[in-house]
Structure formats: structure tokens, C-alpha cells
Structure 1
Amino acid sequence: MRILVISDSHGNYPLALKAHELAGPVDHIIHLGDGADDAELLQEVLEVPVLRVAGNCDFDASLPRELTLEIGSCRVFATHGNRQAVKSGLSLLIERGIEVGAGVVLYGHTHLPAVLRDSGMLLINPGTLKQGFAGSYAILTVQHGEPKAELFKI
């Protein structure tokens, strides 16, 4: 399974569409918040399922603040990251990932792309698509239960 992971588009849906174009074929798109309207637009115009969580700048109360997904035999935890105070470090995020039994943790909020391993989990921040920033996105690939991630600049 191949998943496009984006975050923090802050109304810059043209760059979100560009990320999808550059990513090539994907099975899903996951938007990690601060651009819920952008994610909704992607869902309307693309023929790929779009999953989303709310960020601190999203005000749709119906959106979940976090998701736990099963991708093959890999459990993926997705959140914006503001509630785990990721701008001050990743300890609360890692703790939450352990609580839900995640093999992969997806987060945004910092606008800084990162892929790292900690506590047996793959942590991925795709960066931001906000206008005025160096845009980036991530591709998460899960094959035979093994997750891998790559970051790409736009």
C-alpha cells in the first residue's frame, strides 16, 4: 500500500494537488490537519480516499483529532500533534503511539519534515504545504507489514 501524507496546507490546496500529482499513484491520502477544507476539496476532485484529522486551525467539530488505522498488519496512528505538544519535543507523541500500539506515527504541526525511528515506531512528519514555506510531503509504503517512508520537496 502506498499512501501520500500531507499536513499544514493552510488553504494552499493547489500545492496539495501538486503533491498528489508528483507522488504518482497512491492508495490513500492522509491529511494531518490545518487544512481540513483543502483535504475535503481533494476528496471531491480526486479518485482516491482522503482521510483527515483536525489541526489546531481547523474548526470542524465533526473531524477526529486522531485516527488509528490498520494498514495490512501495520497499525498507524495519525494526529496533528498540537495536543501532544510536538513543538516542545516528541515524548508525548511517542507515549501516545505506544498506548495505541502503533508501528507508524504520523504528525504535523511543526512544519518541519522528519522521518525517524523511536521506541520501535516509525515517526513521520511530512512538513508543510503552506504558502511561503518550502513545501514537502511524505510517501508511506507498507509492504508485508513493513513500513517505509520517504520525504519529498515540491
Structure 2
Amino acid sequence: MRILVISDSHGNFPLALKAHELAGPVDHIIHLGDGADDAELLAEVLEVPVLRVAGNCDFDASLPRELILEIGPCRVLATHGNHQGVKSGLSFLIERGIEVGAGVILYGHTHLPAVQIESGMLLVNPGTLKQGFPASYAILTVQHGEPRAELFNI
């Protein structure tokens, strides 16, 4: 499975669409918040399932704050990260990942792209698509039960 992971588009739908174009074929898109309207537009114009969580700048009360997904044998926690205080460190995010038994944690909020292993979990922040910032996205691949992530600049 190949998944495009984006976050923090903040109304920059054209760049979100560009990320999809550059990513090539994907099975899903996950938008990690602060751009719920952009994610909704992607879902309307693309034939790819788009999953989304609410960020601190999204005001749709029906959006979940986090998703727990099963991708093959891999459990994925997707969240914006503001409720876990990721701008001050990843300890609460890691604690939440352990609590739900995640092998992968996807988060945004900091606008800083990162891929790292912590406490046996793959942590992925795709960065931001916000105008005026260096734009980036991530591709999460799960093959044979093994997750792998790569970051790409736009």
C-alpha cells in the first residue's frame, strides 16, 4: 500500500493537488489537519480515498482529532499533533502511540518534515504545504507488513 501524507495546507489547495501529482499513483491520501477544506476538495476531484483529521485551525466539529487505521498488519495513528504538544516535544505523542499499539504515527502541526524511529514506532511528519514555507509531503509505504516513509520537497 502506498499512501500520500500531507498536512498544514492552510488553504493552499493547488499545492495539495501538486503533491498528489508529484507523488504518482497512491492508494490513499491522509491529510493531517489545518486544511480540512483542502482535503475535502481533493476528495471531490480525485478518485483516491482521502482521510482527514482536524487540526487546530479546522473548525468542522464532525472531524475526528485522530484516526487509528489498520494497514495490513500495521496499526497507524494519524493526528494533527496539537493536542499532544508536538511543538514542545514528542513525548505525549509517543505515549499516545504506545497506548493505542501503533507501529506508525503520522502527525503535523510543526510545519517541519521529519521521519524517525522512537520507541519502536515510525514517526512521520510530512511538513507543510502552507504558502510561504518550504513545501513538502511524505509517502508512507507498507509492504509485507513493513512500514517505510520518505519525504519529498515540492
TM-score bracket, normalised by the shorter chain, equals over 0.9
TM-score of the two chains, using structure 2 as the length reference: 1.00
Q: Report SS of the residue matched to 1:5.
A: strand
CA RMSD of aligned residues (A): 0.2
Over 2 Å off, 4+ runs: none
Query: How many residue pairs are counted as aligned between the two chains?
Result: 154
**Cα separation, 2, equivalents of 1:122 and 1:67:** 16
- Tell me what 1:152 maps to: 152
Map 1:1-154 onto structure 2 (within 5 A). 1-154=1-154
**Cα separation, 1, equivalents of 2:145 and 2:94:** 20
How far did 1:79 drift? Answer: 0.2
**Which runs of 5 or more structure 1 residues have no equivalent in the other structure?**
none
- AA at the equivalent of 1:58: D
**Which runs of 5 or more structure 2 residues have no equivalent in the other structure?**
none
- AA at the equivalent of 1:2: R
- AA at the equivalent of 2:77: F
- AA at the equivalent of 1:146: E
How far did 1:71 drift? Answer: 0.2
Q: Report SS of the residue matched to 1:42.
A: helix
**Cα separation, 2, equivalents of 1:114 and 1:106:** 10
Between the aligned residues of both structures, percent identity stands at 89
How far did 1:112 drift? Answer: 0.0
**Cα separation, 2, equivalents of 1:72 and 1:19:** 25
Q: For each residue in 1:98-118, what CA deviation from the matched residue of structure 2 results, as whole angstroms up to 9, or x when unmatched?
A: 000000000000000000000
How far did 1:120 drift? Answer: 0.6
Q: Report SS of the residue matched to 2:87.
A: helix
Q: Report SS of the residue matched to 1:78.
A: strand
**Cα separation, 1, equivalents of 2:94 and 2:87:** 13
Q: For each residue in 1:88-144, what CA deviation from the matched residue of structure 2 results, as whole angstroms up to 9, or x when unmatched?
A: 000000000000000000000000000000001000000000000010000000001
TM-score of the two chains, using structure 1 as the length reference: 1.00
